[in-house]
Structure 1
Amino acid sequence: MRFELFFGADASYRVVSAFHKLRFDTPLDWSPSDRLADRMITWNTASYEEFPLTRWVDKEVDQCYEDTACTAVYIYSSEPSWDEMPQVGFETRRWYSLFFNGSAPTERDFIRRPIDVRYVIKDAAVYIKHGRH
């Protein structure tokens, strides 16, 4: 298997080998359960148009790799609901990343929430730093 399947071609071997990806059933609309709420250490967002999936993953996984407190990064894309459009403008889908510390999350720490009027989650993925279990 080539590393570019989960990480972009520009990802360094050092970073790629330091993480594994949790496996989720499709559709990839998973979100963190409330158990992870107090373990989030930071988050990032960017325009969906600005980053192809592999570049966003590479960038965010590299940030987690460099942060000794980070044990996992949850990546997803989302777009605002029609109700939010007047407040946030008619922006297209955005990338989001949530960074966690503490013991490594597992698939059981992520859930499918009921259809929410606020956000439509897609592209959900979680990358776990090796040696942080």
Structure 2
Amino acid sequence: MGQERVKPPLCHTPFRLLDVVDTTNSTASLVWLKPEHDGGSRIRGYVVEFRAKGTDNWIVYGETKLQKILVEGLSENTEYDFRVKAKNDAGISEPQSTFSSVVIKEPRIEPTADLRPSRAMTEYSCSK
């Protein structure tokens, strides 16, 4: 009687977080936390996908063993959705998507210093 190999179940629990932490005019930096449960089989990597907002076609960007990736080659001023799937010996999990779409552009950094002239710089006095 042949023995059938039993595969562990996929990790169906969603990720706890997937976030875009930085963008440039052509890249997005993604980070995520691994799923709470792996279905009894160690997670071997992650599949990262993206699509332009409003389209149905998910594009596989690549795979990584890390819980972060830099997605390159994106179009500036275009809005994208991102998602990640975990891989283990049983297959690929359900995807976890970003909470909202992200516009690819250089970050605008507001100045934090007070650039107005100070009183000391505007008052002039001479003493004899």
> TM-score when scaled to structure 2?
0.29
Larger radius of gyration: 2
Bigger fraction of residues in helix: 1
Greater percentage in strand: 2
Greater RCO, CA 8 A, separation 6+? 1
